[in-house]
Structure 1
Amino acid sequence: MRARKLFVGRKIREIRQAHALTQAAFAERLEISTSYLNQLENNQRHVTAPVLLGLAEAFSVDIASLSENDDDRLIADLAEAVADPLLGGQQPSKQDLKVTVQNAPTMARAFLSMHQALRRAGEQLAELDETLERSGALNEPTPYEEVRDFFHYQDNYIHDLDLAAEDLAKGLASGSRNRVRVLADYIERRHRVRVVIGNDAETPGAIRHYDPTGRVLTLNPKVEPSTHAFQIAHQIAILEHGRAIDAIAEAADFRSQDAAPVCRIGLANYFAGSALLPYESFAATARELKHDLDLLGDRFGASHEQVAHRLSTLQRPGQKGVPFFFARVDQAGTITKRHSATKLQFARFGSACPLWNVHRAFETPTRIIRQLAETPDGARYLCLAMAVTKRGGGYSDPTQRYALALGCEIKHAKELIYAEDLDLERDQAFEPIGISCRICERRSCHQRAVPPLKRSLEVDPNLRNIIPYAFK
């Protein structure tokens, strides 16, 4: 098979600019001509092995960091956006989208932001015609959407916080399995913060409440010990790494005013998850246990969601784990948390594909269900899904219910215990799934909700199939 040519001009330009070098000086360090470097930076020539080695030797560049995963995600998002009938006109080809992402990624992200604002404006105009006219804030992205995209394009891996969390975990290494007690002792000894597991009179339903004046961290007694440990680690992140978290959030340059505070909470949560499931130890154990979610949860005292989410973040340069996708879906089919280190990218608008096994998880709340699936681009995946219930307390208290989805490309399936009795070679074993109906072009799907946006309808009054229309 012919090796795939690698065009990474933008990243080479970023490396040069980070070292404040002219093209001539940078080319001299790489022992290539200035004209050749100019062609590389403008993606007129693909990068060769000698250039990659020169980048590694002269500028300590991790060659693995030059992968196209970020570009693939951005191309997928652009492809969905330009398919929107709101835009109309001629649709660009995949090659056009690829060139745009490679040469003008900032413009591509700006286009996505504009498209999101356009869709929100249209939806809100239809539902709240009068309200839209009175409020100028409706066209702005929500803070949670901005923060979700920030983590999405960071590959859901924050290197400095991950290392700091791992250092904390090593410092707390103890023979005791009671991590709540170990973390509580640490935060009291280091920061004079007392941890109380009991109801807070001011906020009785809160999972965590910190009183900075009295230096008391109160945790809800009705939640699981894994949640107690997570919330203490979250507070440690704020106390010890607040400045680093602030710097990361500030550098993200969010558009909406509330996005930075939301991001700070997300970054503290990232630290907490990384401290409870430290990178090297967790990655090694995951390989040893063949990614058995139950055994990993028992070994680290973590919930299924904590384990599944952490598996999707194992993207440390030079130490990457199996690339997983991870999502959390509510009972209406809305994706409330998502990340993918695979080719599979989740729908940004509307519900997920109804053929995806994550929807069936609610039918079997005590089991992890499996699915061999194939997307329209021919990629094949092993998909796992499980229902999760979080009780709030007594009979009359609300209960959270949602499903978790975790999966990887089939080439990695043998590293998972869940694939041991599956026939990975039989084509008929793979169920067809899509991203969402609006961009899926499968003609024979019996669960299709709406026709694909880029196709015109064919309505035959003399014929009624399962789906009441066909498309060209």
Structure 2
Amino acid sequence: MSAASVNSNLGSKVRNKRRGRNLTQAELARRLGISASYLNLIEHNQRPLTATLLIKLAQEFGLELSDFAADDDRRTAAHLLEAFSDPVFEEHELNSADVRELASSSPAIARAVLTLYEQFRRARETLAELAEDSYAHQESQAGGASGIDPTRSLRADALPSEEVNDFIQRHMNYFDELEELAEALWVDAKLKRGARFAGMAEWLGRRGIGVQLSAGEQRIVRRYDSDLRRISLSEALPPSSRNFQLAAQVALICHHDVLERLTDDEPGLSSSSSRTLARLVLANYFAGAVLMPYDSFVRSAKSQRYDVELLSNRFGTSFEQVCHRLTTLRRPEAEGVPFHMLRVDIAGNISKRFSGSGIRFARFSGACPRWNVFRAFQTPGLIRVQTSIMPDGDKFFCVARTVAHGRGGYGAHRATLAVGLGCPLEYAHELVYADGVDLDEEDGMLSVGVTCRLCERRDCEQRVLPSLRQPLQLREDIRGVSMYTDPES
């Protein structure tokens, strides 16, 4: 970071840190070597926070520079905007400026509001499910017993998957300690690119842990018997998945203490289920780092211009494994293109998401159907390319393709998912997929959004809900391509 002025809105964050230490403005200003009046202007966002002051503040409070990053506030504001798009808030005159001010000036209160909304939303969904159960039972067994499980209740805890997604996002999907452990395994086990499975199996054997392929269990791809100290892997797995599962089990057996340390003290993981899921996710991170070592992978990614299929062939990994690994290239002084990634099923459910590009994902509602990751289902197995522009003017370059999940063999069920990978448009020229695409032609960019409720565009043929930011105007004398589009806009 240079000593140039950092144009950010971090004054409220400085104020919160100072108050948390019970320091007066005068005392903190003295320690920073500035006047109290200048600090007061910084805290009220009337003066920029320079890089030099950022470093001093980080040293003063014993923090990392990333703790002063504005990304957390922007994400909180984005989640608040989405929460307030719920029709329950329609009678309140909320605007985006108010929401952003709340996220910036009172982040703790903003997060508390989000927690309340999440609990309210889950309670509402549970009540709806209970009502549906009750109605269905009455229809099928008129006058009979309730048919509703009495143990079902309104859950107040957060979904583990959401907490883990937030955990990964806070760390920008980069864990240096796991990278170092993966590199150490390569050296200690003398791994070679074409013989990683045999190398890991031999390394485990020296530690008294056996590895075998199993054909007996149809629905289990990996099992570790701690009494027999034996890892069993399904022989129906393709080699890329077999290598990945073995590397993940290495992390869970040999580095469990590290996984626990990374997750147990994490304040955002509020339950044992969340922490367990986080450890499994980190074990998968370790596996990706083993199969695609950081230094050689980032060099290959850049030399091959991020051609996912070529990288998949070079490292013996799957298309999805490469996409996920590309999102982890955050090592200082050796960073790759900042990617975002999401994985969806054919019903539109998002099962994996991470944003290193700055793009926003829907958290409480369905995503925009115009994203090319959803259109990938129309052309299975083919790469789809898209340049897109968000309502706020941010531009992205995205590729998407379907992938198959499941075991091999005739008649085996294989789920079809779609994986989307994207980056800010200014990085697109580094990707082979942008060859032949006019990146400067804004007319050729597809207008996309986050969700219908947050999108102001009134001419979208795929709009299914009215926009929070536009008054609902329905007419009986004219109809557009959607009930909520304005045909004359």
Query: Which residue matches 2:167?
Result: 150
CA displacement at 1:392 relative to structure 2: 2.4
Q: Confirm or deny: 8 A CA contact 1:387 1:402 kept in the other structure.
A: yes
Q: Secondary structure at the match of 2:223?
A: strand
Corresponding position of 1:435:
450
1:161 aligns with 2:187: no
**Secondary structure of 1:389's match?**
strand
For 1:190-201, list aligned pairs within 5 A: 191-199=207-215, 201=216
C-alpha displacement of 1:138: 3.0
> What is the identity percentage for the equivalent residue pairs of Structure 1 and Structure 2?
38
- Does the 8 Å contact 1:83/1:91 carry over to 2? no
**Structure 2 partner of 1:206:** 220
Match of 1:126 in 2: 128
1:8 equivalent in structure 2: 10
Q: CA deviation at 1:26?
A: 6.0
Contact 1:64 1:317 in 2 (8 A): no
Check the 8 A contact 1:7/1:45 in 2, yes or no. Answer: no
Task: Write the deviation string for residues 205-236 of structure 1: whole angstroms up to 9, x where unpaired.
Answer: 21110000101100111112111111121122
**Residue number among 249, 254, 258 corresponding to 1:244 in the alignment:** 258
Residue number among 415, 420, 423 corresponding to 2:435 in the alignment: 420
The aligned residue for residue 233 of structure 1 is 247
Aligned partner (choices 362, 370, 373) of residue 385 of structure 2: 370
Other-structure match for 2:306: 291
What's the offset of the Cα at 1:46?
Answer: 2.8
Deviations 1:248-277 (A, max 9, x none): 222223334422212221121122222222
> How far is 1:338 from its partner?
0.5
1:450 is aligned to 2:465: yes
- Structure-to-structure mapping, 1:240-279, within 5 angstroms: 240-253=254-267, 254-279=269-294
Q: 1:66: how far off?
A: 4.3
The question of whether the paired residues in 1 share the 8 Å contact of 2:344 and 2:419 is answered with yes
Q: Name the counterpart of 1:31.
A: 33
Give the Cα–Cα distance (whole angstroms) in 1 for the partners of residues 390 and 205 of structure 2: 51
CA pair 299-26 structure 1, distance change in 2 beyond 3 A: farther
From the superposition, tell whether residues 282 and 394 of structure 1 become closer, same or farther in structure 2 (CA, over 3 Å). Answer: closer
1:107 maps to 109
* CA offset digits 1:60-116 (Å, max 9, x no partner): 977577442333222211211122222344344434333333343333222222211
Partner of 2:138: none
Deviation (angstroms), 1:325: 0.9
Counterpart of 2:86, as a letter, is D
CA contact (8 A) 2:463 2:484 kept: no
Find the aligned partners of 1:248 and 1:17 in 2 and give their Cα distance: 28
Larger CA deviation: 260-269 vs 402-411: 260-269
Pair 174,154 (structure 1): closer, same or farther in 2 beyond 3 Å:
closer
What is the CA-CA distance between 1:407 and the residue it aligns to? Answer: 0.6
The range that moved more, 87-96 or 75-84, is 87-96
TM-score for both structures, normalised by structure 2: 0.86
SS in 2 for 1:458: coil
Q: Is it true that 1:324 corresponds to 2:324 in the alignment?
A: no
Task: Answer with 28-37 or 75-84: which moved more.
Answer: 28-37
Report the aligned-residue RMSD: 3.1
**Aligned residues of 2:83 and 2:364 also touching (Cα < 8 A):** no
Residue 383 of structure 1: SS of its match in structure 2? Answer: strand
Distance in 1, Cα, partners of 2:320 & 2:449: 24
Are 1:282 and 2:284 an aligned pair? no
SS at match of 2:49: coil
What CA deviation, in whole Å up to 9, does each residue of 1:133-191 have, x standing for no partner? Answer: 863343433222222222223322233323332333344454451211111112222x3
Q: Partners in 1 of 2:318 and 2:22 — Cα distance?
A: 46
Q: Which runs of 5+ in 2 are unaligned?
A: 135-147
Change (3 A) 1:103 1:183: farther
134 and 194 in structure 1: CA distance in 2 versus 1, 3 angstrom threshold: closer
| Structure 2: distance between partners of 1:458 and 1:10 | 39
Q: 1:164 to 1:66 in 2, by over 3 A?
A: farther
Distance 1:163 1:8, change over 3 A: farther
Whether 1:185 aligns to 2:230 is: no
Contact 1:327 1:338 in 2 (8 A): yes
Q: State the distance in 1 between where 2:56 and 2:447 align.
A: 44
Q: Using the alignment, how far apart are the partners of 2:22 and 2:332 within structure 1?
A: 24
Aligned equivalent of 1:76: 78
User: Offset at 1:340?
Assistant: 0.6
Structure 1 residue 385, shift from structure 2 partner = 0.5
